[in-house]
A and B are shown apart, each in its own frame.
Chain A
């Protein structure tokens, strides 16, 4: 399955026209201990670069933006009781939601693993 990354530190894994979305391991490390994740409602229409979710650490709330347009099919209910899953396994068990993608051409704006690794290396002056 193809995996994509955004400059806003989201990852997106594609299976047909359904993408599983979460925040990257780099993002969870930067945020620190995650205490609450607010997920979108199933059926919500996401707009690329619009608000999709909110992730809260002890100290602050951070917005998670939609990496693509689409409709929410499912959210990760495990995060409700165990938001720390995002710290433990950001790019696996700590996924946020599944979205049915409207326009696959939007994936072209995203990075592959290698480009993302270079991108975050560039952030660490």
Chain B
């Protein structure tokens, strides 16, 4: 993110957002829709009930090419890239030498290349990092002429199949380069809401056309960043810069599952000494779900206390979950308090309020696994 940037960037769907009556806010250097006239709660519930269309074009899309792309990327992420078959996608993270997280990302084996989707706020740094560290003839191609949208919700498959019959049989975390409404797209059956759905990478100059076609379907509403945040929080998914950052390791973030057996045995990624030690011996703290008992939401940076009033952690994402119809939060607590069922207090506006450590997610994942 450029600190001195005064002019906000616009995605190819900017004019459409304004036309739809979106409230636009600055986010990661972009002028983005935080909500439409339906409102955050309505948009959230609509996505869980039918289908929502999200503009995520601010995120970075890059391709890595070169014979040694897999081995080179594996130096920077603890995930197993080699195991990915063509047309398969997985979630991973760039780690640094301290074993903490520079960004989280999606990695797809696109056959002749690796296709990566990285966070908007980190993309410039990620690209510098990759260009500086990917050797042996691997090069990075920025796909900055492409837009990215997500269609999420139980009706997403039904809707998208009308424009691309091939997507019906795609399984969660699979990828295909196929035409959607005749437009050449990269489609991944994935998303960040906990629902079934797709992320669709589309040439920027045809993004508005595709978005209008999808929004014209009865099931689909435009959804802003506000509901994107409440949906991913209920789904227990991390938001970079909040739940994970350069002060948290994948083990502390309860993302052990992104590091498989081979990478644990072989190491060879940034910060492996720290991360492998934590995998073997445990970390001092852990990311957990936190359920406030009353109706008061507990927001980011709320201190978490034990029964004696000692600070044992902090909330990193917190708000109201429209689907669970109650406040929901996640954060880090000292490891001895990380077991679901543990009672804690949250210090909200000077008052200790009871809460419970719970297993994530708050809203069950409904991915399509075939």
Contact = CB atoms under 8 A, between A and B. Distances in A.
Contacts of A36: 295-297, 320, 327
Contacts of A58: 40-41, 44, 226-227, 230, 319-320, 322
A92 interface: no
B215 to A, nearest CB: 21
Given A58-B44, A58-B322, A59-B229, A32 B39 contact: yes
B349 A59 contact: no
Contacts of B41: 32-33, 35, 58
A32 B40 CA distance: 7
Contacts of A60: 299
Interface string A17-46: 000000000000000110110100000000
A25 to B, nearest CB: 15
Nearest to B295: A36
Interface residues of A, number: 14
B35 interface: yes
A54 interface: yes
B86 interface: no
B296 A59 contact: no
A56 B326 CA distance: 12
Contacts of B296: 36, 38, 56
A61 B299 contact: yes
Contacts, number: 48
A76 interface: no
A33 B325 CA distance: 12
Interface in B295-326: 295-297, 299, 319-320, 322
A57 interface: yes
A11 to B, nearest CB: 22
A80 B296 CA distance: 10
Interface residues of B, number: 20
B39 A33 contact: yes
A36 B318 CA distance: 14
Given A33-B41, A58-B226, A38 B320 contact: no
A32 B41 CA distance: 8
Interface string B17-57: 00000000000000000110001111010000000000000
Interface in B314-370: 319-320, 322, 327, 349
A33 B297 contact: no
A87 to B, nearest CB: 9
29 contacts: A32-B39, A32-B40, A32-B226, A33-B39, A33-B41, A33-B322, A35-B41, A35-B295, A35-B297, A35-B327, A36-B295, A36-B296, A36-B297, A36-B327, A38-B349, A54-B349, A56-B296, A57-B40, A57-B320, A58-B41, A58-B227, A58-B230, A58-B322, A59-B34, A59-B319, A60-B299, A61-B297, A80-B295, A83-B295
What 8 A-B pairs have minimum CB-CB distances, sorted nearest first? A33-B41, A35-B320, A58-B40, A58-B320, A59-B226, A32-B39, A36-B295, A58-B41
